[in-house]
Amino acid sequence: MFGILGILYFVVMAAIAGMVIYVLVLVIIFLRLHVRELKTTQPLEPGNPENHP
C-alpha cells in the first residue's frame, strides 16, 4: 500500500519536523542571549536582590 507516495510523505514530514526543531533551537538561543542582554543593561536598583554580590 505504501508506494512512492508513502515514501514522499515520510520524507516531507521528516523535513518539516527537522525545520521545526531547528527553528525551536534558534528561538531558544535567541531568547537566552536576549535575556542575558536585558540583565546586563538592567539599572541598579537598591531593592533588587540580583544586584547584591
pLDDT digit string (tens) for the chain, length 53 residues? 568 999 999 999 999 999 999 999 999 999 998 888 878 876 666 665 655 55
Task: Find the farthest-apart pair of alpha carbons in the chain and give their distance in angstroms, rounded.
Answer: 70
Distance CA(22)–CA(7), nearest Å, equals 22
DSSP class of residue 41? T
pLDDT of residue 36: 83
CA atoms within a 13 Å half-sphere pointing along the CA-CB vector of 9: 6
pTM of the model: 0.59
What was the pLDDT predicted at 11? 97
Sequence ranges of the domains in the chain: 4-39
pLDDT of res. 12: 97
C-alpha cell at 23: 527553528
pLDDT of residue 35: 85
